[in-house]
A and B are shown apart, each in its own frame.
Chain A
């Protein structure tokens, strides 16, 4: 009869700590989710990473001598392409513009601009005032091309490799720190891939 006595009381008491342990694990997970870089719930992860450039064909921005661009320009171009979505009405775009100017000086990339839901004249004035770093600008007045790119706000920046595959997406303005720590390293990595 006495063989079936319950387990030692210390073991039972330890069992009471189980909920605390579970809650601690849960809270730890929440903390990780809240504080880890790149886990901002407002930033939609791009499904287009490692996918080829989407189908689009954008006309030139009216009033510029630069041509528009399309999917064909990006696929198998043999060059690294940086596609920046911008608009003259977008204040964060202005904030990142000096960094776009820096990128525009590089001759190892082709910098494309998608002018998102903008009036051509406004865009022209904006570029005249703040400088035009782009090698080519496509006017996406109804945002159809941007939707194909999975764009949900401006600015957004995509980096494509020589074959035209999207390798990196940056949501929001690129600040100087990010230019040095994120964007340029990606470009350098893709360049190294090309030579190897």
Chain B
């Protein structure tokens, strides 16, 4: 029982660890740097924030690439917009809202939690819960079934008269063999 619980726990943790952004980030890491020297902000802190935001923004024309690693003109323009807004003092969230207002949630690699993405975010947990409940009942009914089976065998109705006769005959022949040796 404890090992089963442990198994469930590990599985849940694995689910938590696997977040969409992680995939996007590792993808961005492999790609060639597309940010051109003239785009880079003099303030390293702002530039780092710009890079972080850009990694989560989908290039709308080359759709499975973040703008951070895309060479498309529109990606460059979006990178510049992000940097301009950062310099103007916008928060990361405000910049994301600016982009979402134009391109929708689709523009973000990490989907926000809202009524549209409810199933996306909670779906895995719902499936886990469903599977867990299913397993629980499966094992419980299995134990119950084996319990009833043993109870039945101890009852008098377990063997028919014919079966009992056959059993007696076999036992008798066995005893005969035993006495002979």
Contacts and interface: CB of A to CB of B under 8 A. Distances in A.
A152 B151 CA distance: 71
A42 B58 CA distance: 12
Interface in A129-155: 142-144, 147-150, 152-153
A63 interface: no
B148 A142 contact: no
Given A42-B63, A47-B101, A152-B103, A1 B77 contact: no
B19 interface: no
Interface string A31-53: 00000000000101111100000
Given A42-B63, A117-B73, A150 B102 contact: yes
A150 B74 contact: no
B145 A44 contact: no
Contacts of A48: 102
Contact of B102 (A42, A142, A148): A148
B104 A147 contact: no
Chain A residues touching B, majority SS: loop
A1 B151 contact: yes
B148 A150 contact: no
A3 B178 CA distance: 43
A9 interface: no
Contacts of A144: 77, 81
A4 interface: yes
B interface bracket (residues with beta carbon within 8 Å of A) = 20 to 34
Given A1-B148, A1-B155, A152-B60, A47 B77 contact: no
Contacts of A46: 104
B73 A143 contact: yes
A107 B107 CA distance: 37
A150 B155 contact: no
Contacts of A177: none
Contact of B61 (A5, A47, A152): A152
Contacts of B151: 1
B86 interface: no
B152 interface: yes
A47 B100 contact: yes
Interface string B135-154: 00000000011001001100
